[in-house]
């Protein structure tokens, strides 16, 4: 998927055992983030994901985290473990399971975490990493996702619409 | 009384990594800095782990893995070996794909002390 493309709708089961579709969030800015449980890059960034959701929820932003990993080779990424992780880290966004990996493949996702930020018209406006420092949240210099959200909210062009996603490879079956 | 002077060039330092995990360059830079700070001037053996079989043979728990005299700087509690990225629990409780400088330094300093005891 490239900047300017329209989002591909999906319907996936979330950890609340309900089906979530992209179309359910019409009118919102939606950040689809391919994620998982086991990857240390996700684990380094997930508190920041929670913080971003908290900071921007009232401004009409919704994060949807999607785990597409193969849970046979990576049992930490199983659906029950997703529920546990969400409880432990107090996820304030839906955490969805892409069991047959169809959504990840249709989006061209390669890494976890990997962000696809769509505007209210479902046009892809930012793709890539959450920020520029997976290791130390206090040493972040470029808050890519936050800056993209601010630009969208202020109807400005996003200065950095694309960055290389940094993280583990998606674990394909 | 004979005092054993540590032969710091007897330290063996190894960085094992899987190329699909992007933190190995930063791990190497961090390792080099610590070795420099500690006055340890040895070549770092770089081992690129490329297959599940090699990972099993090396008991590779993930990338990056740093060994000092064949001892993992953060001895793993898992026996899962394979091509994966490694999670380190840092001193402040955070998870990171990188070992901290402190972790590396502690291992190098312990190895130096152990050399003196031989």
Q: What was the pLDDT predicted at B2?
A: 47
Stretch B95-101: mean pLDDT: 96
* CB proximity B98 to A under 8 Å: yes
- Chains A and B form CB pairs within 8 A to the count of 36
Stretch A74-93: mean pLDDT: 97
What would the pLDDT profile of A108-151 be if each residue is shown by its tens digit?
999 999 999 999 999 999 999 999 999 999 999 999 999 999 99
Q: Report helix, strand or coil for B91.
A: coil
The span from the CA of B10 to the CA of B13, in Å, is 10
- State yes or no: pLDDT of B5 exceeds 60: no
User: Do A7 and A124 touch, CB atoms closer than 8 A?
Assistant: yes
* CB proximity A72 to B under 8 Å: no
ipTM of the complex: 0.86
Of B84, B85, B96, Cβ closest to residue A135 = B96
- How would residue B7 be classed by pLDDT, with cut points 50, 70 and 90? low
- Chain B residues whose beta carbon lies within 8 Å of the beta carbon of residue A135: 23, 26, 96-98
The span from the CA of A106 to the CA of A95, in Å, is 18
- State yes or no: pLDDT of B8 exceeds 90: no
* CB proximity B20 to A under 8 Å: yes
The span from the CA of A17 to the CA of B87, in Å, is 29
Stretch B95-108: mean pLDDT: 96
In chain A, the DSSP E strands lie at 11-14, 19-21, 29-35, 61-67, 95-97, 111-112, 114-118, 124-128, 168-169
Question: What is the nearest CA distance from B113 to chain A, expressed in angstroms?
Answer: 30
CB contact under 8 A, A166 and B22: yes
Q: What was the pLDDT predicted at B78?
A: 83
In this structure, which CATH number among 3.40.50.10140, 2.40.40.20, 3.40.30.10, 3.40.50.10490 belongs to the domain B10-117?
3.40.30.10
Q: Is the dihedral of CA B2, B6, B9, B13 positive or negative?
A: positive
- Chain B residues whose beta carbon lies within 8 Å of the beta carbon of residue A44: 94-97
Q: What was the pLDDT predicted at B96?
A: 95
The span from the CA of B85 to the CA of B72, in Å, is 15
Q: What's CA B7's distance to the chain center, in Å?
A: 19
- State yes or no: pLDDT of B9 exceeds 80: no
CB contact under 8 A, A134 and B96: yes
- State yes or no: pLDDT of A170 exceeds 70: yes
Q: What was the pLDDT predicted at B3?
A: 46
Q: What was the pLDDT predicted at B115?
A: 79
- How would residue B10 be classed by pLDDT, with cut points 50, 70 and 90? confident
In this structure, which CATH number among 3.40.30.10, 1.10.150.120, 1.20.1740.10, 1.10.645.10 belongs to the domain A27-169?
3.40.30.10
Joined tokens for residue A141: 């210099």
* CB proximity B29 to A under 8 Å: no
What would the pLDDT profile of A24-34 be if each residue is shown by its tens digit?
998 789 999 99
What would the pLDDT profile of A9-65 be if each residue is shown by its tens digit?
999 999 999 999 999 998 789 999 999 999 999 999 999 999 999 999 999 999 999
Question: What is the nearest CA distance from B18 to chain A, expressed in angstroms?
Answer: 11
Stretch A91-102: mean pLDDT: 98
Q: Are strands A114-118 and B44-48 parallel, antiparallel or unpaired?
A: unpaired
- State yes or no: pLDDT of B55 exceeds 60: yes
- Chain A residues whose beta carbon lies within 8 Å of the beta carbon of residue B88: 40
Question: What is the nearest CA distance from B98 to chain A, expressed in angstroms?
Answer: 7
Q: What was the pLDDT predicted at B79?
A: 82
Domain boundaries, given as residue ranges, for chain A? 27-169
């Amino acid at each position: 998927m490239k900047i300017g493309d329209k989002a591909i709708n999906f319907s996936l089961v979330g950890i609340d055992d309900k089906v979530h579709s992209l179309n359910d969030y019409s009118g919102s800015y939606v950040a689809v983030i391919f994620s998982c449980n086991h990857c240390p890059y996700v684990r380094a960034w997930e508190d920041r994901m929670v913080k971003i959701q908290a900071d921007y929820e009232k401004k009409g932003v919704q994060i949807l985290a999607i785990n597409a990993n193969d849970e046979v080779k990576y049992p930490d990424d199983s659906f029950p473990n997703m529920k546990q992780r969400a409880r432990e880290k107090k996820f304030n966004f839906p955490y969805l399971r892409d069991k047959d990996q169809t959504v990840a493949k249709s989006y061209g996702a390669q890494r976890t975490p990997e962000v696809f930020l769509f505007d209210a018209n479902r046009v892809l406006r930012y793709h890539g990493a959450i920020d520029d420092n997976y290791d130390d949240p206090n040493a972040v210099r470029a808050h890519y996702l936050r800056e993209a959200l601010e630009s969208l909210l202020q109807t400005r062009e996003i200065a950095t619409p694309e960055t290389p996603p940094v993280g583990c490879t998606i674990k394909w079956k | 009384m004979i005092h054993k002077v540590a032969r710091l060039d007897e330290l063996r330092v190894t960085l094992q990594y899987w190329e699909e995990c992007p933190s190995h360059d930063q791990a190497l830079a961090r390792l080099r800095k610590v070795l420099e700070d500690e006055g340890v001037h040895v070549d770092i053996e770089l081992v690129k782990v490329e297959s599940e079989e090699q990972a099993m043979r090396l008991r590779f728990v993930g990338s990056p893995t740093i060994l000092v005299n064949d001892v993992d700087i953060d001895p793993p509690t898992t026996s899962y070996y394979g091509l994966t990225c490694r999670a380190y629990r840092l001193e402040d409780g955070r998870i990171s794909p990188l070992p901290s400088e402190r972790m590396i330094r502690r291992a190098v300093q312990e190895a130096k002390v152990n050399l003196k005891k031989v």
